Amino acid sequence: MRFGSLLLFASSLALAFTACSPAASERPERAALAAQAITSNEAKILELRFSAELVALSNTEARKAILSQLVYAQGIFVTAHNGNGQVGQVVLSNVVETEEGRAKRIRYDAALPVAFPKDLETPERYALALPRDVRLLAAFNRKYDGTCGKNQYGQENFWLDYDPGAAGCRIDDEDVVRASAAVAPYAKASTDKYPEYDLLWADDRLDVIALFALIEGAEPDDYGYTERDAFLRRAKERLTDGAIANRQPTRSFLSDASVTGTVEVGGRQKPVSIDVLLVPDLQRIGPDFDQRFDPISEKADLILYNGHAGLGENVNVLARKGKVAREKYQLVLLNGCQSFAHIDRTLNERRTAVNGADRDPAGTMYMDVVGNALIGYANNLAAMSFTLLDAAVEADTPRSYRSILAAMPANQLVVAFGEDDNRFAPPPLPARFRALEYSPAFSR
């Protein structure tokens, strides 16, 4: 792995298939998830619209099969342009499945938001060469690993480094589907949205979970430990009468500490409680994780994850954990490599289920997410979490998402998404201060 980076060791859950079984001869399918707003300081947000097809086992769920093909687009965007697509939440339409013996052909239309470097010219069209048969991805990887990119995290994860534009790369037409995507500015790219500060403080207190994970191993100098310690120290110093209490470690938690104190919001002191948890890896947690995490996640205003994305597995494990309270606004940080691309629809779907499809159809009414479109680096774990904590406790001088993102590492291409339905707006700044609003100095 790259030193200090947050990319990890296992294949994405989206790549798993089951054994074959009979399927209907032809059936259309439409995706329900609507496109979300996206804010970025370091990228222009584009939308790629294209049609494609693939071959899959007959009983593979269509969206899962499509995602197992589209993850190769992540390699294309990252290796060619140092950008990334929101692959896990791609909007699909006109999905049609046709039986072909024990396999099936899936045709679909896709609308894919992409974080594209702002200093590059926007193309009118974008060429994609994606594996044709998702039953044969292992063979595809063996054939093209080394000539069309070189895997850095195991050949089964070659999709992450797939580069059809590499010098010497020659791809046989029978192995890929070639799509020419129409490129346009993303209609929901936002520039003026704020976290819902009033909802964060609706109950006159702030509850925070800061979850850290080991980066390289269970040693005292591992970034998981050192960044947790740095966050604990800064959080305690930030609060009035800040105090740290430690709980006994358990199977899932290498450490379990709480920081409590107060901050002044709205002219009076209000309580803040921060649970700071360290786990070895989210794929190796036990039932004691749920016993601890369920009650605090239900009332948390901020949930801050800092660790390996696990090529999607860790962030999507976390998305399935905890309890979701009805009409409870939460700000979520996914500080792992390419979490913007990896995270699937679970966070949104769980909120739609609790709040109702009529009230919260996209699962964004009561949740915003901040995540990395590119590689995250372990020496930024505490700083990124503290940036969001600091913004929340300074609710009397509210910062926009652009201001918050300006204080985060530019090389991680941090974005916010799901904020299109945010209603909070601060009083307008005096004209002489408006130019400062998005500067890193002002944001701190």
DSSP characters over 211-262: EEE-SS-SSTTSHHHHHHHHHHHHHHHHSEEEEEEEE---SS-SEEEEEEEE
What are the tens digits of pLDDT across the range 246-267?
999 999 999 999 999 999 999 9
Torsion angle of the four alpha carbons 306, 154, 180, 371, in this order, in degrees rounded to the nearest 10: 0
Amino acid 431: pLDDT: 61
How confident is the model at residue 391, as a pLDDT? 98
- Beta carbons within 8 Å of 289's beta carbon, 6+ residues apart: 252, 253, 279, 321
- How large is the average pLDDT for residues 304-327? 94
- Give 28 or 167, the one with higher predicted confidence: 167
Residue 217 pLDDT level (bands cut at 50, 70, 90):
confident
| Confidence at residue 310, expressed as pLDDT on a 0 to 100 scale | 86
Report the pLDDT value the prediction gives residue 117, as an integer from 0 to 100: 86
pTM value? 0.88
| pLDDT, tens digit (0-9, with 9 covering 90-100), for 16-57 | 322 222 333 344 433 345 678 999 999 999 999 999 999 999
Q: Give pLDDT, residue 434.
A: 52
Q: H or E element: which one contains 48?
A: strand 43-57
Asked whether the beta carbons of 351 and 361 are under 8 A apart, the reply is no
DSSP run (H or E) holding 345: none
- The predicted structure's pLDDT at residue 413: 93
Structure tokens at 342: 């990896």
Q: Give the mean model confidence (pLDDT) for residues 394-413.
A: 95
Residue 438 has pLDDT above 60, yes or no: no
pLDDT band per the 50, 70, 90 thresholds, residue 306: very high
Q: Are 92 and 86 in contact (CB under 8 A)?
A: no
* Total number of residues shown for the chain: 444
Q: Give CA–CA dist 85/73, Å, rounded.
A: 8
Instruction: List, for residues 344-374, the tens digit of each pLDDT value.
Output: 999 999 999 999 999 999 999 999 999 999 9
Q: CA-CA distances (angstroms) from residue 54 to 68, 111, 182, 228, 439?
A: 10, 17, 20, 44, 45
Element (H, E) at 57: strand 43-57
Question: Is the pLDDT reported for residue 12 higher than 70?
Answer: no
Average pLDDT on 7-19 reads: 35
What pLDDT is stored for residue 34 in this prediction?
A: 61
